[in-house]
Amino acid sequence: MEIASKVNEGVKRIIKIEKFGQVDQALLDKVLEIMVETYERLGPPLTFSVSLRIFEKSIEGVSFFASHNASQGRPTISVYADKILGLPDDVIAGGIRRQAAHSILHGSPEFYRIKLPSELRRAMVEYGLPEAFTTKILYGVSMAAKEYAVTKFLISCDFIEDQVAYAKYLLEPTHEELVSWEIARASPFERIAYVVMTIRDMSCALPLAKDERFGGEIKAYMEKKIEHLPSNYKVKVRRIVNDLIPSFGSDLFRNIELLANAVVRELIDEELAFYKKTQQPI
Protein backbone atom coordinates (compact mmCIF):
# COMPACT_ATOMS: atom_id res chain seq x y z
CA MET A 1 0.00 0.00 0.00
CA GLU A 2 1.20 3.50 -0.71
CA ILE A 3 -0.01 7.07 -0.38
CA ALA A 4 1.17 9.95 -2.56
CA SER A 5 3.43 12.23 -0.53
CA LYS A 6 1.64 15.38 -1.66
CA VAL A 7 -1.58 14.37 0.11
CA ASN A 8 -2.41 16.21 3.32
CA GLU A 9 -0.69 14.31 6.15
CA GLY A 10 -3.69 14.49 8.48
CA VAL A 11 -6.08 12.91 6.00
CA LYS A 12 -3.45 10.55 4.57
CA ARG A 13 -3.74 8.24 7.54
CA ILE A 14 -7.39 7.40 6.91
CA ILE A 15 -6.95 6.33 3.26
CA LYS A 16 -5.54 2.85 2.65
CA ILE A 17 -4.67 2.23 -0.99
CA GLU A 18 -4.53 -0.95 -3.03
CA LYS A 19 -3.59 -0.91 -6.72
CA PHE A 20 -4.52 -3.64 -9.17
CA GLY A 21 -2.61 -3.63 -12.43
CA GLN A 22 -0.67 -0.72 -13.90
CA VAL A 23 -2.31 2.41 -12.49
CA ASP A 24 -1.13 5.80 -13.67
CA GLN A 25 0.28 7.81 -10.75
CA ALA A 26 -1.26 11.03 -12.06
CA LEU A 27 -4.72 9.44 -11.92
CA LEU A 28 -4.09 8.13 -8.41
CA ASP A 29 -2.99 11.60 -7.30
CA LYS A 30 -6.13 13.13 -8.82
CA VAL A 31 -8.40 10.65 -7.02
CA LEU A 32 -6.62 11.26 -3.73
CA GLU A 33 -6.82 15.01 -4.11
CA ILE A 34 -10.59 14.83 -4.59
CA MET A 35 -11.06 12.48 -1.64
CA VAL A 36 -8.88 14.57 0.65
CA GLU A 37 -10.68 17.77 -0.28
CA THR A 38 -14.01 16.07 0.45
CA TYR A 39 -12.98 14.69 3.84
CA GLU A 40 -11.38 17.98 4.86
CA ARG A 41 -14.67 19.80 4.28
CA LEU A 42 -17.24 17.14 5.19
CA GLY A 43 -15.47 15.11 7.87
CA PRO A 44 -13.96 11.61 8.04
CA PRO A 45 -15.51 8.32 6.91
CA LEU A 46 -17.97 6.74 9.31
CA THR A 47 -15.33 4.27 10.54
CA PHE A 48 -12.52 6.90 10.40
CA SER A 49 -10.68 4.95 7.71
CA VAL A 50 -11.42 4.00 4.12
CA SER A 51 -10.00 1.56 1.61
CA LEU A 52 -9.29 2.90 -1.86
CA ARG A 53 -8.99 0.14 -4.45
CA ILE A 54 -7.97 1.39 -7.86
CA PHE A 55 -8.05 -0.96 -10.83
CA GLU A 56 -6.34 -0.69 -14.19
CA LYS A 57 -9.30 -2.49 -15.81
CA SER A 58 -12.90 -2.87 -14.75
CA ILE A 59 -14.40 -6.26 -14.10
CA GLU A 60 -17.42 -7.69 -15.91
CA GLY A 61 -20.71 -6.19 -14.83
CA VAL A 62 -19.28 -2.92 -13.53
CA SER A 63 -21.40 0.00 -14.71
CA PHE A 64 -19.83 2.99 -12.96
CA PHE A 65 -16.27 4.31 -12.93
CA ALA A 66 -16.35 4.49 -9.12
CA SER A 67 -18.39 2.77 -6.43
CA HIS A 68 -18.66 2.44 -2.65
CA ASN A 69 -19.38 -0.56 -0.47
CA ALA A 70 -19.14 -1.14 3.28
CA SER A 71 -20.81 -4.53 3.60
CA GLN A 72 -17.60 -6.19 4.83
CA GLY A 73 -16.80 -3.62 7.51
CA ARG A 74 -14.56 -0.74 6.50
CA PRO A 75 -15.92 1.47 3.71
CA THR A 76 -14.28 0.62 0.39
CA ILE A 77 -14.14 2.86 -2.66
CA SER A 78 -13.34 1.17 -5.96
CA VAL A 79 -12.16 3.17 -8.97
CA TYR A 80 -11.76 1.76 -12.50
CA ALA A 81 -9.13 3.57 -14.53
CA ASP A 82 -10.32 2.30 -17.92
CA LYS A 83 -13.79 3.75 -17.34
CA ILE A 84 -12.39 7.15 -16.34
CA LEU A 85 -10.33 7.65 -19.50
CA GLY A 86 -11.69 10.47 -21.60
CA LEU A 87 -14.15 11.79 -19.02
CA PRO A 88 -14.14 15.52 -18.16
CA ASP A 89 -12.39 16.46 -14.94
CA ASP A 90 -15.56 17.79 -13.31
CA VAL A 91 -17.42 14.53 -14.01
CA ILE A 92 -14.54 12.56 -12.47
CA ALA A 93 -14.47 14.86 -9.45
CA GLY A 94 -18.24 14.60 -9.02
CA GLY A 95 -18.20 10.80 -9.15
CA ILE A 96 -15.26 10.30 -6.81
CA ARG A 97 -16.59 12.87 -4.36
CA ARG A 98 -19.88 11.00 -4.19
CA GLN A 99 -18.11 7.83 -3.09
CA ALA A 100 -16.28 9.72 -0.35
CA ALA A 101 -19.62 11.13 0.79
CA HIS A 102 -21.08 7.61 0.84
CA SER A 103 -18.24 6.54 3.14
CA ILE A 104 -19.23 9.33 5.52
CA LEU A 105 -22.99 8.75 5.43
CA HIS A 106 -23.19 5.01 4.68
CA GLY A 107 -19.78 3.68 5.63
CA SER A 108 -20.80 0.75 7.82
CA PRO A 109 -22.34 -2.70 7.16
CA GLU A 110 -25.79 -1.79 8.50
CA PHE A 111 -26.39 0.34 5.41
CA TYR A 112 -25.74 -2.66 3.13
CA ARG A 113 -27.62 -5.33 5.04
CA ILE A 114 -31.12 -4.03 4.57
CA LYS A 115 -34.18 -6.04 5.54
CA LEU A 116 -36.75 -6.71 2.87
CA PRO A 117 -39.53 -4.11 3.25
CA SER A 118 -42.90 -5.60 4.14
CA GLU A 119 -44.64 -4.67 0.87
CA LEU A 120 -41.81 -6.07 -1.22
CA ARG A 121 -41.93 -9.25 0.85
CA ARG A 122 -45.68 -9.44 0.32
CA ALA A 123 -45.24 -9.02 -3.44
CA MET A 124 -42.54 -11.68 -3.48
CA VAL A 125 -44.95 -14.20 -1.96
CA GLU A 126 -48.07 -13.09 -3.85
CA TYR A 127 -46.49 -13.14 -7.30
CA GLY A 128 -43.86 -15.80 -6.70
CA LEU A 129 -41.07 -13.37 -7.47
CA PRO A 130 -37.62 -14.92 -7.93
CA GLU A 131 -35.24 -14.06 -5.10
CA ALA A 132 -32.70 -12.64 -7.56
CA PHE A 133 -35.31 -10.24 -8.93
CA THR A 134 -36.44 -9.13 -5.47
CA THR A 135 -32.83 -8.57 -4.43
CA LYS A 136 -32.23 -6.49 -7.55
CA ILE A 137 -35.25 -4.30 -6.80
CA LEU A 138 -34.18 -3.83 -3.18
CA TYR A 139 -30.70 -2.86 -4.37
CA GLY A 140 -32.09 -0.28 -6.80
CA VAL A 141 -34.46 1.18 -4.21
CA SER A 142 -31.73 1.33 -1.55
CA MET A 143 -29.30 3.01 -3.91
CA ALA A 144 -31.91 5.56 -4.95
CA ALA A 145 -32.44 6.58 -1.33
CA LYS A 146 -28.69 6.70 -0.65
CA GLU A 147 -27.89 8.66 -3.81
CA TYR A 148 -30.54 11.24 -2.98
CA ALA A 149 -29.07 11.65 0.52
CA VAL A 150 -25.53 11.97 -0.83
CA THR A 151 -26.44 14.71 -3.29
CA LYS A 152 -28.29 16.68 -0.59
CA PHE A 153 -25.26 16.32 1.68
CA LEU A 154 -22.79 17.48 -0.95
CA ILE A 155 -24.74 20.50 -2.13
CA SER A 156 -25.37 21.56 1.47
CA CYS A 157 -21.58 21.86 1.74
CA ASP A 158 -21.30 23.80 -1.55
CA PHE A 159 -20.10 20.97 -3.76
CA ILE A 160 -22.44 21.89 -6.59
CA GLU A 161 -20.74 22.39 -9.96
CA ASP A 162 -19.11 18.96 -10.13
CA GLN A 163 -22.35 17.35 -8.94
CA VAL A 164 -24.20 19.07 -11.76
CA ALA A 165 -21.59 17.78 -14.23
CA TYR A 166 -21.89 14.25 -12.84
CA ALA A 167 -25.70 14.34 -12.86
CA LYS A 168 -25.77 15.44 -16.50
CA TYR A 169 -23.31 12.66 -17.37
CA LEU A 170 -25.45 10.09 -15.55
CA LEU A 171 -28.75 11.28 -17.02
CA GLU A 172 -27.60 11.36 -20.64
CA PRO A 173 -29.18 8.23 -22.18
CA THR A 174 -26.56 5.99 -23.76
CA HIS A 175 -27.00 3.75 -26.77
CA GLU A 176 -26.60 0.75 -24.46
CA GLU A 177 -29.45 1.97 -22.26
CA LEU A 178 -31.78 2.42 -25.21
CA VAL A 179 -30.96 -1.06 -26.47
CA SER A 180 -31.47 -2.46 -22.96
CA TRP A 181 -34.94 -0.95 -22.83
CA GLU A 182 -35.90 -2.51 -26.15
CA ILE A 183 -34.82 -5.88 -24.79
CA ALA A 184 -36.52 -5.28 -21.42
CA ARG A 185 -39.89 -4.52 -23.03
CA ALA A 186 -40.48 -8.24 -23.60
CA SER A 187 -40.47 -9.11 -19.88
CA PRO A 188 -42.38 -7.53 -16.97
CA PHE A 189 -39.48 -8.42 -14.68
CA GLU A 190 -37.02 -6.60 -16.89
CA ARG A 191 -39.33 -3.63 -17.42
CA ILE A 192 -39.74 -3.15 -13.67
CA ALA A 193 -36.01 -3.50 -12.99
CA TYR A 194 -35.13 -1.05 -15.77
CA VAL A 195 -37.52 1.60 -14.45
CA VAL A 196 -36.26 1.16 -10.88
CA MET A 197 -32.67 1.73 -12.01
CA THR A 198 -33.83 4.80 -13.93
CA ILE A 199 -35.39 6.13 -10.72
CA ARG A 200 -32.08 5.44 -8.97
CA ASP A 201 -30.19 7.58 -11.47
CA MET A 202 -32.74 10.38 -11.36
CA SER A 203 -32.69 10.48 -7.55
CA CYS A 204 -29.02 11.41 -7.76
CA ALA A 205 -29.91 14.58 -9.67
CA LEU A 206 -33.16 15.48 -7.93
CA PRO A 207 -31.80 17.80 -5.18
CA LEU A 208 -30.03 19.84 -7.89
CA ALA A 209 -33.37 20.56 -9.58
CA LYS A 210 -34.01 23.22 -6.91
CA ASP A 211 -30.76 25.08 -7.60
CA GLU A 212 -31.36 28.63 -8.90
CA ARG A 213 -28.56 28.41 -11.45
CA PHE A 214 -28.80 24.84 -12.64
CA GLY A 215 -32.32 23.66 -11.73
CA GLY A 216 -33.87 24.23 -15.15
CA GLU A 217 -31.08 22.40 -16.93
CA ILE A 218 -31.23 19.48 -14.51
CA LYS A 219 -35.00 19.16 -14.93
CA ALA A 220 -34.52 19.06 -18.70
CA TYR A 221 -31.93 16.28 -18.34
CA MET A 222 -34.27 14.33 -16.04
CA GLU A 223 -36.95 14.47 -18.70
CA LYS A 224 -34.40 13.44 -21.31
CA LYS A 225 -33.60 10.36 -19.22
CA ILE A 226 -37.15 9.05 -19.63
CA GLU A 227 -38.14 10.40 -23.03
CA HIS A 228 -37.80 6.95 -24.65
CA LEU A 229 -40.21 5.33 -22.17
CA PRO A 230 -43.91 4.88 -22.91
CA SER A 231 -46.15 7.59 -21.45
CA ASN A 232 -47.55 5.40 -18.66
CA TYR A 233 -44.05 4.74 -17.35
CA LYS A 234 -43.17 8.41 -17.54
CA VAL A 235 -46.17 9.22 -15.36
CA LYS A 236 -45.15 6.61 -12.79
CA VAL A 237 -41.52 7.74 -12.70
CA ARG A 238 -42.47 11.41 -12.35
CA ARG A 239 -44.90 10.58 -9.55
CA ILE A 240 -42.22 8.73 -7.59
CA VAL A 241 -39.35 11.12 -8.33
CA ASN A 242 -41.17 14.45 -8.08
CA ASP A 243 -43.77 13.69 -5.41
CA LEU A 244 -42.41 10.96 -3.13
CA ILE A 245 -38.63 11.26 -2.98
CA PRO A 246 -38.56 14.99 -2.05
CA SER A 247 -40.62 14.07 1.05
CA PHE A 248 -37.83 11.86 2.41
CA GLY A 249 -36.67 12.60 5.94
CA SER A 250 -33.39 11.85 7.69
CA ASP A 251 -34.14 8.14 8.37
CA LEU A 252 -32.60 6.27 5.43
CA PHE A 253 -34.29 2.98 6.26
CA ARG A 254 -37.70 4.63 6.44
CA ASN A 255 -37.00 6.26 3.07
CA ILE A 256 -36.11 2.89 1.56
CA GLU A 257 -39.36 1.43 2.89
CA LEU A 258 -41.40 4.31 1.46
CA LEU A 259 -39.76 3.98 -1.93
CA ALA A 260 -40.11 0.19 -1.95
CA ASN A 261 -43.82 0.56 -1.18
CA ALA A 262 -44.21 2.98 -4.09
CA VAL A 263 -42.36 0.67 -6.46
CA VAL A 264 -44.61 -2.22 -5.45
CA ARG A 265 -47.74 -0.09 -5.84
CA GLU A 266 -46.83 1.72 -9.05
CA LEU A 267 -44.86 -0.96 -10.87
CA ILE A 268 -44.96 -4.48 -9.45
CA ASP A 269 -48.68 -4.65 -8.66
CA GLU A 270 -49.58 -2.86 -11.88
CA GLU A 271 -47.42 -5.14 -14.02
CA LEU A 272 -47.99 -8.48 -12.36
CA ALA A 273 -51.57 -8.50 -11.05
CA PHE A 274 -52.87 -9.17 -14.57
CA TYR A 275 -50.70 -12.25 -14.93
CA LYS A 276 -51.78 -13.59 -11.57
CA LYS A 277 -55.46 -13.05 -12.40
CA THR A 278 -55.26 -14.74 -15.78
CA GLN A 279 -52.79 -17.36 -14.54
CA GLN A 280 -50.60 -16.68 -17.51
CA PRO A 281 -46.88 -17.40 -17.07
CA ILE A 282 -44.68 -14.35 -16.59
pLDDT tens-digit series, residues 156-200: 999 999 999 999 999 999 999 999 999 999 999 999 999 999 999
- Over residues 60-76, mean pLDDT: 90
pLDDT reported for residue 274: 66
User: Can you tell me the mean pLDDT for 93-104?
Assistant: 97
User: How high is the mean pLDDT of the chain?
Assistant: 92
Question: What are the distances in angstroms from CA 265 to CA 146, 236, 270?
Answer: 21, 10, 7
> Which pLDDT score is estimated for 264?
97
The region, left, alpha or beta by phi > 0 then psi within -120 to 50, assigned to residue 158 is left
- Rounded mean pLDDT, 212-217: 96
Residues 5-12, mean pLDDT to the nearest whole number: 59
CA distance 139 to 142: 5
Dihedral, CA atoms, 75, 165, 43, 101, nearest 10 degrees? -30
Residue 46 near residue 111, CB atoms below 8 Å? no
Q: Which of 56, 166, 49 is nearest to 100 (CA)?
A: 49
**pLDDT for 152:** 97
pTM (2 decimals)? 0.91
